[in-house]
Amino acid sequence: MKAAVITFPGSNRDGDVARALRQAGATVVSAWHADHELPHGTDLAVLPGGFSYGDYLRCGAIASRAPIMDAVRAHAARGGLVLGICNGFQILCESGLLPGVLMRNANLHFICRRQHLKVARADTAFTGRYHVGQVIDVCIAHGEGNYFCDEETLHELESEGRVAFRYCDAAGNTSREANPNGSLNNIAGVFSEGLNVLGMMPHPENLIDELVGGIDGRGLFESLAAA
């Protein structure tokens, strides 16, 4: 598994996700926003968390038009794997690779806290090491993670099984109280139609270490490394 972690100006969890991928056994290379090609042999393109272009204009809007994104779109069209976390998810929505938008959190504050997620499907390259219905304890750190889309899209996502993770409580209840940001149907992450693109707001890459909060995030990277 060769993963290319793309750094945009303002990316700041590029190092964190590279560390998680390396720990899981993937080969990690760097890519730069101004490049026109992904590194040769890239299996997985990763759009990391951060504040690309300072979140100016709209989160992810400027990055979605960076030269490297043409290469990412082509990679996805070929069936290549793409993972966008947090700002990466915002970029994927802005670039048309995933449907929907991420609005400001319902409480209008940036929120950083531990957060439980319910795994919605485990038969993908991203989630194979989890099982359906598993509750994992990771974290969130965002100001604009309130997932929204029109009713038709929501229906599509739900009926096609394209919701990857939902916010839930420790017992797995996907209740309103367990929804930190107001996302529709507690959606924390969604897949593309071909299940080869995943965008998610939470940060599994920061939960890979017993000493630093736990290891529930490892499953995602181990799934990818084995894909």
Partner 1 sequence: MAGRALFDRAQAETEMIPNEPKITPELVAEHGLKPDEYERFVALIGREPTITELGIVSAMWNEHCSYKSSRLHLKTLPTKAPWVIQGPGENAGVIDIGDGLACVFKMESHNHPSYIEPYQGATTGVGGILRDVFTMGARPIAALNALRFGSPDHPKTRHLVAGVVAGIGGYGNSFGVPTVGGSVGFHSRYDGNILVNAMAVGIARADEIFYAKATGVGNPIVYLGSKTGRDGIHGATMASAEFDENSEEKRPTVQVGDPFAEKLLLEACLELMASGAVIAIQDMGAAGLTCSAVEMGAKGDLGIELDLDAVPCREEGMTAYEMMLSESQERMLMVLDPDKHDIAEAIFRKWGLDFAVIGKTTDTLRFVVKHKGEVVADLPIKELGDEAPVYDRPYIQNAFEPVLPPESVEAPMPNGEALVKLVGTPDLCSKRWVWEQYDHLILGNTVQTPGGDAAIVRVGDGPKGLAMTTDVTPRYCEADPVEGGKQAVAEAWRNITAVGGRPLAVTDNLNFGNPEKPEVMGQFVGCIRGIGEACRALDFPVVSGNVSLYNETQGRSILPTPTIGGVGLLDDVKVHATIAFRAAGEALVLIGETKGWLGQSVYLRDICGREAGAPPPVDLAAEKRNGDFVRGLIRSGRVRTVHDCSDGGLAVTLAEMAMAGGIGCTVDAVPDGLSAHAFLFGEDQARYVLAVPDEEAEAILREAAAAGVPAARIGSTGGETLTLPDEAPISLERLRTAHESWLPAYMAGQHA
Q: Is 10 in the site for partner 1 (CB under 8 A)?
A: yes
- CB 212, min distance to partner 1, A: 6
- CB 193, min distance to partner 1, A: 32
Size of the site for partner 1 (CB under 8 A): 31
Contact set for partner 1, span 96-125 (CB under 8 A): 109-113
- SS3 per-residue string spanning the chain: CEEEEEECCCECCHHHHHHHHHHCCCEEEEEECCCCCCCCCCCEEEECCECHHHHCCCCCCCHHHCHHHHHHHHHHHCCCEEEEECHHHHHHHHCCCCCCEEECCCCCCCEEEEEEEEECCCCCCCCCCCCCCCEEEEEEEECCCEEECCHHHHHHHHHCCCEEEEEECCCCCCCCCCCCCCCHHHEEEEECCCCCEEEECCCHHHCCEHHHCECCCHHHHHHHHHC
Residue 205 bears catalytic tag: yes
- CB 192, min distance to partner 1, A: 27
Contact with partner 1 (CB under 8 A) among 82, 139, 168, 187 = 139
Residue 93 bears catalytic tag: no
Contact set for partner 1, span 24-83 (CB under 8 A): 49-51, 53-56
- CB 20, min distance to partner 1, A: 8
Q: Is 144 in the site for partner 1 (CB under 8 A)?
A: no
Where in the sequence numbering do the catalytic residues fall? 86, 203, 205
Footprint on this chain of partner 1 (rule: CB under 8 A): 9-10, 12-13, 15-16, 19-20, 49-51, 53-56, 109-113, 139, 141, 143, 203, 205-206, 208-209, 211-213
